Amino acid sequence: MHTPSSVPAPVAPGPALPRHHLPVLPAYLPGLESTAPHEEGSVWLHDALLGPFSADIVEYLRLARKTAGPVLDLGSGAGRLAVPFARHGFPVEAVDRDRHSLRRLRAWAARIGPHVERLVTTTPADLRRLRLHRRYQLALLAGAMLTAVPPRDRSGLLREIAAHLGTGGALALDYTEHEPAGLAADPRRTWTFPVPRVDGVTEWVVARQVFDLNTRIEHITYYCERAEKSRIRRSVLTTDKWIVDRGRLTEELTAAGLRITDRRQQQLDERTRSVLLVCRPKGD
């Protein structure tokens, strides 16, 4: 569900993106792993979107210190979480369907040093057909990766994870939860946000969301503009995510043999919140 509609290329300076008078996105921006690039030319956009919005790693590291390792990072991308976890001494298996992202992850770990590189294992796999072969103390579906998994495949994924959690292990996941009445009343919205940089480059992103309540799909288009020296670089990226229903997700977790032991939420706007769930096997 990650579809780059174009790859960035230098173009002559032109009009700025229509970002004026648009609401500014909150500092915590979940779900951007779902824009993982499938082409090397769009890697810069992926980094620009994800890099500044990594506050969730603090909560996940705190949980890892309680459960210990090994850690399973599902939908790892280029290692936003996996590499820092390894730097903190946790063995990590990073799973992603994008092999180029996994190569970048391994290169990043290698640059830090052998003490990190030896703790990282990368596995190319699609979460819809995931098959695991060891046990983990902590499994992560971070950055709203759950919303990138089709509902028909979600129960199977949760069962596979639950079957491979060790004693005292946990599954931690986050997703964006929307008020149904708010979506029905206003199924479209547009955000704008600057990408924090310290290298003299100016970068802005306009994100346009369209919610289809019939298909339960959220269509997102990112319009990006990057001004560096004498050129402007633009890119457009589209991605689809599934709208998660809290009741159905709870049923799926229960059917997989998991119970919710902790639920935290952060209000993003009047109709949307980011939800973090910690789930453990029923017998623990």
- Quote the pLDDT of residue 34: 56
Q: Can you say whether the dihedral through the CA atoms of 59, 60, 61, 67 is positive or negative?
A: positive
- Domains belonging to the chain, first-starting first, are 2-26+179-242 (no CATH), 56-178+245-281 (3.40.50.150)
How far apart CA 245 and CA 145 sit, in angstroms, is 15
- Quote the pLDDT of residue 232: 87
| Rg, the chain, Cα only | 19
- Quote the pLDDT of residue 223: 87
Q: Which residues lie below 8 Å from residue 185, measured CB to CB, with a gap of 6+?
A: none
Burial per residue of 7-24, b for 16 or more beta-carbon CB atoms within 10 angstroms, e otherwise: bbeeeeeeeebebeebee
Q: Is the pLDDT of residue 282 over 70?
A: yes
DSSP 152: H
Q: 270 by DSSP, 3-state: which?
A: coil
Segment 173-231, tens digit of pLDDT: 999 898 888 888 889 988 887 777 767 788 888 888 999 999 999 998 888 888 877 88
Name the least confident of 24-33, 40-49, 147-156, 271-280: 24-33
Nearest of 203, 200, 238 to residue 222 by alpha carbon: 238
Q: Residue 69 forms beta bridges with which residues?
A: none
pLDDT tier at 116 (50, 70, 90 boundaries)? very high
With 0.75 as the threshold, say if the pTM is over it: yes
Q: Is the pLDDT of residue 7 over 60?
A: no
Q: Is the pLDDT of residue 32 over 70?
A: no
- Quote the pLDDT of residue 236: 84
pLDDT tier at 268 (50, 70, 90 boundaries)? confident
Provide φ and ψ at 29, rounded to 5°.
-125, 95
- Quote the pLDDT of residue 73: 96
